[in-house]
Amino acid sequence: MPLQFVYSCQDFVTDVLRSSGNSLGTASTPAKFDTTIQAGWTDRMDRGLFRYHLGDLQTRILPGPHGYVAQLNIQRGVERRKPQEILSIQQEFSAKQFNFNKINPDEIIFEMIKDTEGGHEKRQLDQPGRMVVLVNVSPLEFGHCLFVPDPSRCFPQVLTSFAIQVGIESVLLSSDPGFRVGFNSLGAFASVNHLHLHGYYLDQELQIESMEVKPLVPEKGFYRLLDFPGGFLFYTETEWVEEVARAICKVTDFLVDSNIAHNLFLTRGCPPSDRIPSKKDRSSRKGVRVAVWPRISCFGAKEESAFNVALCELAGHLPFKNKKDYELTTERDVMEIIQRYLLPSADFHTLEQQLIRHLRDL
């Protein structure tokens, strides 16, 4: 039986700060979530369960206003499992393809179980009640793991409100402002058509944590990012998680129904504002920012040596697979590559109006 990590809302960490000019943040004490996941991940690395040993990655901040965090990870490009060929955003799950029911059981770190004893949480009958957390054997960064809702249910790579909620709750369970969670849809460089989210630690601050936003449907926590790359943002603190998760799922369901590929990135962030936040607000990380980028679809098997624009790259974290690109790529180069994957501005504006109406009708 895998280890069970039982948690409740009382375990959420709200006193997280990010020190200005410092990659490290502060919290009251290390959270049990972090110590459990990091110990389990390190144990599997020591036992040789990964495809390669991940040491300290070469990291540099690209010159320019966006502060892109570049990292060199050659082995991920060489050693990782060949991604599946994806032909549709609504592609059905296939038991013949690789999926997380075929992994070595030792790769499982724990199962997340939410203790709702005495609470008011209600689950729909079609939603799983457990989240399996396993190591990503081709890691991007320290602690890189996968969150898989009840693998035996064989969900395709389409978000559910349960998956989004547990993703948000995982960020809230961490006392480390560098813990991130993300999702790639089919057509947005997802490698496996079996529902999963990524989680990993990246110490460096990303602009998405404090970027200015425009309110769209603020009562649903819905905003538009005001800087590059253009996308949407949800924000929640501990008391609104379930409601915001449902709103995010309404948006991602709309994108799937409209055959629009998308990437999500969940991170500690300061409260949303349409102006540069005060120093106090800028350092606050009590809430979670969830960026949603609708984008142009890419189908077929992805080229592993290429710079693929997915959840990390859109958020400002750039994993490079060869030394030349790592050393020579500029901020302008990155922006030109990312721009090719974004929706044209007219299409984005139309989608924004559709989503505003869609969320207001809930």
β 287-295/261-269 pair status: antiparallel
Domain membership of residue 188 (yes or no) is yes
- Counting the structural domains of the chain, the total is 1
Domain membership of residue 348 (yes or no) is yes
pLDDT value at residue 236: 97
CATH number of the domain enclosing 69: 3.30.428.70
As annotated, the active-site residues are 196
Domain membership of residue 190 (yes or no) is yes
Task: Tell me what the mean pLDDT of segment 228-248 comes to.
Answer: 96
Of residues 300 and 206, more confidence is placed in 206
Domain membership of residue 27 (yes or no) is no
DSSP letter assigned to residue 86: B
Q: Which residues make Cβ contacts (< 8 Å) with residue 320, sequence separation at least 6?
A: 70, 71, 72, 73, 307, 326, 329
Pairwise CA distance, residues 100 & 148, whole Å: 8
Per the prediction, the chain carries an average pLDDT of 90
Domain membership of residue 73 (yes or no) is yes
* CB contact at 8 A, 46 and 53: no
Domain, as residue range, for 156: 38-114+126-360
pTM of the model: 0.93
From residue 91, alpha-carbon distances to 148, 256, 269, 314 in Å are 18, 11, 33, 24
244-299 confidence digits (pLDDT tens)? 999 999 999 999 999 999 999 999 999 999 887 777 778 889 999 999 999 999 88
129-179 confidence digits (pLDDT tens)? 789 999 999 999 999 999 999 999 999 999 999 999 999 999 999 999 999
Domain membership of residue 223 (yes or no) is yes
pLDDT value at residue 144: 98
3-state secondary structure of 251: helix
Exposure string over 68-77, b if 16+ CB within 10 A, otherwise e: bbbbbbebbb
Domain membership of residue 180 (yes or no) is yes
Domain membership of residue 16 (yes or no) is no
Task: Describe the chain by its helix, strand, coil percentages, rounded to 5.
Answer: 30, 25, 45
